[in-house]
Amino acid sequence: MHIVTLGLNHQTAPVAIRERLAFTAEELPEVLRRLKDEAGLSEALILSTCNRVEVYGISATLDECHKRLLKFLADYHQIDAKDFAENLYFHTDSAAISHGFRVASSLDSMVVGEPQILGQFKDAFAIASEELSTGLILNRFLHRSFFIAKEVRTQTKIASYAVSVSFAAVELAKKIFGDLNDMKVMLIGAGEMCELAARHFINQGVEQVLVTNRTLSRAQQLANEFSGIALPFDKFRGQLDQVDIILSSTGSPEYLIGPEELSQALKKRRNRPIFLIDIAVPRDIDPKVNELDNIYLYDVDDLQDVVTENLDQRRQEAELAEKLVAKEVEKFEQWLASLAVTPTIKKLREQVLEIADQELKKTLAGLTDLSNKDEQRLKAMVNAIANKFLHHPISYLKSQDDSAETIPATTIRKIFKLDKNDVR
């Protein structure tokens, strides 16, 4: 049996192609049932996210598997296979195992170390498992995928470095204030970057979010999402002394905050520090405010420098993670090999003991004057000979590896004619 993976991701296909091949969670049960039948898979799972669409399966043969999977995707989505075939990758056996482990561990993600993919993989497994689409091999494969993902996260710092501008802002705030509990944040602007940063701040325990925007209704909408307070745009400067962190991202052609406003705010705050993040281009905050004591201003370039440095750190941690994955792949391959060896060992033992028993019966049939004690001794001797004969072949099979000198279990079956279609 072979583990196979056919798919495409953000590295091999643009979003225009990925979205045409995507599956919704609602349609997956039916898709999995059809997939096993039409692609000839004994087990199957589909992982479909905004960045990837992948089919994981167990196939008895590789000869037609790729073609049948390609045809299934084309038929199901009613797309000409020529439109996406060159965007696909097809992994088998150890390469498929390694790919799955790397995906679960976020080593194959657009942002290395992001945690979302593991949850998405678990959701895909839950659907496949509920549909009885997975079995012995994929169940083990997925559980080991989740295990190595946890190992990577706990034994490396792959997720410890901020690699988005909005999250970098939060990390810098933590360095300045330490604990962000009881902190108050003001958002100047209600765009996507401000919203994302606000979510990060909320997750870190800030007490309150104030939102101002030229369009008050938009400020109110965003403030409601965080149980915050909306401020009219012409009134926010009067509240600067009330906040510890200010994040600004507007389209203003001129500075919205300068040294004078912040100097007044610091006096009211008795010089308690204020952290300002200016991610607007052109900038919203006059860089001269950095000349004030207890003012910490970072613009988008400063944050990008942090992100770049952190990406380098994540890449270093990813190298450690890759080694963990490689070890787990080796262990899983050994387990797979044992699946092939165990039936062979069982069949070999049954055949040798059956031959020994048949020969013993023939011998005993001609020895009518043997005592019961002698007959038992003869049986024990025959069994001992059979077991000693089996000892080295079985030990050898159990210690199989991928070296060139290893005789595969299939060869052992042929040598001893263990299969029914072998002629004795």
Per-residue pLDDT tens, the chain, 424 aa: give them: 799 999 999 999 998 899 999 999 899 999 999 999 999 999 999 999 988 999 999 998 888 999 999 999 999 999 999 999 999 999 999 999 999 999 999 899 877 777 889 999 999 999 999 999 999 999 999 999 999 999 998 998 877 665 667 777 888 888 888 889 989 999 999 888 788 888 888 888 899 999 999 999 999 999 999 899 999 999 999 999 999 999 999 989 899 999 999 999 999 999 999 999 998 888 999 999 999 999 999 988 888 777 777 777 778 888 899 999 999 999 998 888 777 677 778 888 888 888 999 999 988 888 888 888 988 999 999 989 988 998 888 787 777 654 434 456 667 777 888 776 544 4
Q: Tell me the torsion sign for CA atoms 277, 283, 287, 288.
A: negative
| Amino acid letter for position 255 | Y
* Beta pairing, strands 52-59 & 89-92: unpaired
Please give the backbone phi and psi of residue 56, each rounded to the nearest 5 degrees, phi first: -110, 135
Closest CA to 73 of 31, 134, 41: 31
Q: Half-sphere exposure of 92 toward its Cβ, with a 13 Å CA cutoff? A: 10
* Beta pairing, strands 274-278 & 295-299: parallel
Rounded CA separation 332/144 (Å): 8
Going by the DSSP 8-state scheme, the letter that residue 422 receives in this structure is S
pLDDT value of position 295: 96
Contact between 44 and 133 (Cβ < 8 Å): yes
Rounded CA separation 48/99 (Å): 15
19, 27, 37, 50: the catalytic one is 50
Name the β-bridge partners of 9.
Answer: 52
Rounded CA separation 55/90 (Å): 10
pLDDT value of position 420: 61
Name the β-bridge partners of 59.
Answer: 2
65 a catalytic residue: no
Cα angle vertex 2, ends 125, 43, to 5°? 35
Residue whose pair of structure tokens reads 């999977």 in the numeric block: 69
pLDDT value of position 406: 46
* CA distances, 334 to each of 4, 94, 398, 399 (Å): 17, 11, 10, 9
Tokens of 213: 């925007």
Classify burial at 157, counting beta carbons within 10 Å of its beta carbon; exposed 0-12, middle 13-18, buried 19 or more. middle
Q: Tell me the torsion sign for CA atoms 298, 303, 309, 315.
A: positive
